[in-house]
Structure 1
Amino acid sequence: MKFWKFFSIFWAIYWLFFAIGLPLILHYRGHHRSDYEIIQTSAGESFILLGVGTALWIIIFIYYIKKFLVNLPSKTNGIILLNVIGLLLFIALAAGILVYTYINESHGYGWRYLYLWHPYIFIPGSFILYSPLFFYITRGIFSKY
């Protein structure tokens, strides 16, 4: 039984790397928009991208709350501080990405630095895409065990 617990922890870490770590590494490794590219982005487009990213993060928060924080009294105390801490880390990640990139990438042009593959938009999108693949496929494959 310890093997399957280790196996599920390994896949959770693997999934988190591809959902969070890889988009951050790819973005901060070298793709920053130049001032010319930022100027060419309209304010309407940037606010739409900001709204899309915020909506995706809200979907992730609602999914997390439904999956892990519903029926808290029925869960043990150790599983409650960890689930709540996980939610707080997700909120901190969303806010941290948005604030950090606004300070370092906006260059005084507001939200125009956002683009479709920006981590603020891509990370919740990858969570939404990878979650069914991770949970349902692995559950179907390893349901016998």
Structure 2
Amino acid sequence: MKFGNGFSLFWIIYLLFFAIGLPLILHYAGDHHQSDFEMTNTSASKAFILLGVGTALWFIVFIFYIKKFLVNLALKKNDIKVLNMIGLLLLIALAAGILVYTYINESRGYGWRYLYFWHPYIFIPSSFIFYSGLFFDITKGLFSKFRANP
């Protein structure tokens, strides 16, 4: 394995922990669920706006993933297409799983009113967007001079 590939793999795993693992750990270990009082005082329109924002952020992540890992690699004709499709399916399952699991366990009959801005359904795709911009755009520019062949 080349240094660049190992370096990239390390940072991808590292950022995946901070994008997925840490928000889930903080939400469930910190017991950051909405109380009944907070849910009764949350309007339905605010809840649906937050649901829409979270869904839109997830679609941005899906489109970025498809563009970056499926379309670009299909044009290059790499052999790691099965694996990228599995990654996309796992990403879709993560989004749907978080939404269904939290609706079943956190809504307590109040519908989508359990959502708030720092909820993992909204925060995880925001983290993906931030870290992918950081990883793929900023670090690519910083380290391109080291990876370029003279």
TM-score (ref. length: structure 2): 0.90
Corresponding position: 1:91 with 2:100: no
TM-aligned CA deviation for residue 128 of structure 1: 1.2
CA–CA separation in structure 2 for the residues paired with 1:43 and 1:83: 37
Corresponding position: 1:32 with 2:33: yes
TM-aligned CA deviation for residue 126 of structure 1: 1.2
* Letter paired with 1:84: M
TM-aligned CA deviation for residue 127 of structure 1: 1.1
* Letter paired with 1:20: I
TM-aligned CA deviation for residue 65 of structure 1: 0.9
* Letter paired with 2:2: K
CA RMSD across the alignment: 1.4
TM-aligned CA deviation for residue 88 of structure 1: 0.1
Q: Runs (4+) of structure 1 moved beyond 6 Å? A: none
Compared with structure 1, are the counterparts of its residues 48 and 64 closer, same or farther at alpha carbon in structure 2 (3 Å cutoff)? same
CA–CA separation in structure 2 for the residues paired with 1:11 and 1:76: 21
* Letter paired with 2:51: L
Residue 14 of structure 2 is matched in structure 1 by: 14
Greater CA deviation, 85-94 or 33-42? 33-42
**Where does 1:1-145 land on structure 2 (aligned, <5 Å)?**
2-29=2-29, 30-70=31-71, 72=74, 74-77=76-79, 79-143=80-144, 144-145=146-147
CA–CA separation in structure 1 for the residues paired with 2:91 and 2:24: 14
CA–CA separation in structure 1 for the residues paired with 2:86 and 2:96: 15
Q: Determine what percentage of the aligned residue pairs are the same residue.
A: 74
Aligned length: 144
TM-aligned CA deviation for residue 142 of structure 1: 2.2
* Letter paired with 2:65: Y
* Letter paired with 1:120: Y
TM-score (ref. length: structure 1): 0.93
CA–CA separation in structure 1 for the residues paired with 2:132 and 2:8: 14
TM-aligned CA deviation for residue 12 of structure 1: 0.6
Q: Specify every segment of 5 or more residues in structure 1 that has no aligned partner in the other structure, as ranges.
A: none
CA deviation string 1:13-32 (max 9, x = no partner): 11111111111111111211
Q: Specify every segment of 5 or more residues in structure 2 that has no aligned partner in the other structure, as ranges.
A: none
* Letter paired with 1:9: L
TM-aligned CA deviation for residue 141 of structure 1: 2.7
